[in-house]
């Protein structure tokens, strides 16, 4: 009986792998923006009129479950990623080992890439014994930096759109096991965030968390404030805001 169960599980696992391997090529996905990215904003306002909030939600909140207490920040970040307008994304707060984490919803991995959904998990209460993590929690970051780091997580999702399910499954272990892959991925995600017009917001996040990231030994994973400013110099859209 036990052998039959093991055979059944092995067969199921093989079927899942075959489904993921032979799924439709996702590289025809939404690679191009539906419209031009909005101009960079040095600092987003923390308060807006109900009418303006409703217009943002109508334009960028489709298929999105916004995070309680951070709805406006998420909408500001989403407006810089028009490619994600019709992608289901759930933001939610949870006790996690990572300050913020974006990942495909596991239950959607077997679906065609057009039907996948994604989660952005916001850590709320977990603190390391040395207290270093506390400054990196979203609630302790300045408003403009909150927009920037949420944009960083959306930039991760952008990178997931052109991956097969099997590639996405492999990215998790590779991220944990390969420091070089982890550094390359996070640096590329920071750059993508800048390319989408959130350079000032990413800079605000980096300036507020850099010391903590260095103490945790994670400084190299993310671009430093100096590196962010240097990359921003490459894009004319930031020169207009000088």
Q: In what order do the strands lie in the sheet with 100-104?
A: 64-65, 89-94, 118-123, 100-104
State pLDDT tens for residues 119-170.
Answer: 999 887 655 555 556 777 888 899 999 999 999 999 999 999 888 777 888 8
Task: State mean pLDDT over 87-99.
Answer: 83
> In terms of Cα–Cα distance, which of 189, 190, 178 is closest to 224?
190
Structure token digits, residue 156: 């991760």
Q: Please report, in angstroms and rounded to a whole number, the separation of the first and last CA atoms in the chain.
A: 72
Give the pLDDT band of residue 31 (cuts 50, 70, 90). very low
In DSSP terms, 118 is beta-bridged to 89, 104
Q: How far apart are CA 29 and CA 196, in angstroms?
A: 18
Instruction: Quote the pLDDT of residue 216.
Output: 80
Residue 182, classified by CB atoms within 10 Å of its CB into exposed (0-12), middle (13-18) or buried (19+), is middle
> In terms of Cα–Cα distance, which of 209, 217, 239 is closest to 144?
209
Q: How far apart are CA 117 and CA 87, in angstroms?
A: 7
Instruction: Quote the pLDDT of residue 100.
Output: 83
Give the HSE-up count for residue 188: Cα atoms under 13 Å, Cβ half-sphere: 11
The structure's pTM equals 0.84
Instruction: Quote the pLDDT of residue 56.
Output: 96
Contacts of 242 (CB under 8 A, 6+ apart): none
């Amino acid at each position: 009986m036990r052998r039959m169960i093991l055979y059944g599980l092995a067969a199921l696992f093989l079927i899942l792998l075959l489904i993921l391997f032979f799924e439709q090529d996702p590289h025809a996905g939404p690679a191009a923006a539906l419209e031009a990215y909005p101009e960079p904003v040095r600092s987003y306002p923390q308060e807006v009129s109900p009418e303006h909030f409703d217009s943002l939600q109508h334009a960028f909140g489709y298929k999105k479950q916004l995070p309680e207490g951070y709805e406006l920040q998420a909408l500001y970040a989403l407006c810089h990623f028009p490619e994600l307008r019709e992608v289901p994304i759930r933001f939610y707060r949870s006790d996690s080992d990572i300050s913020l984490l974006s990942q495909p919803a596991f239950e959607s991995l077997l679906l065609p890439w057009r039907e996948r959904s994604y989660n952005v998990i916001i850590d709320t209460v977990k603190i390391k014994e040395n207290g270093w993590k506390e400054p990196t929690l979203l609630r302790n970051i300045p408003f403009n930096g909150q927009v920037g780091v949420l944009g960083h997580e959306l930039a991760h999702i952008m990178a997931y759109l052109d991956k097969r399910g099997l590639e996405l499954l492999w990215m998790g272990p590779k991220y944990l096991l390969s420091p070089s892959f982890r550094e390359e991925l996070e640096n590329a995600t920071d750059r993508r965030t800048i390319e989408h017009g959130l350079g000032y917001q990413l800079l605000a996040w980096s300036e507020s968390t850099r010391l903590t990231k260095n103490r945790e030994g994670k400084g190299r994973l993310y671009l430093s404030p100096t590196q962010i400013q240097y990359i921003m110099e490459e894009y004319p859209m930031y020169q207009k805001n000088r």
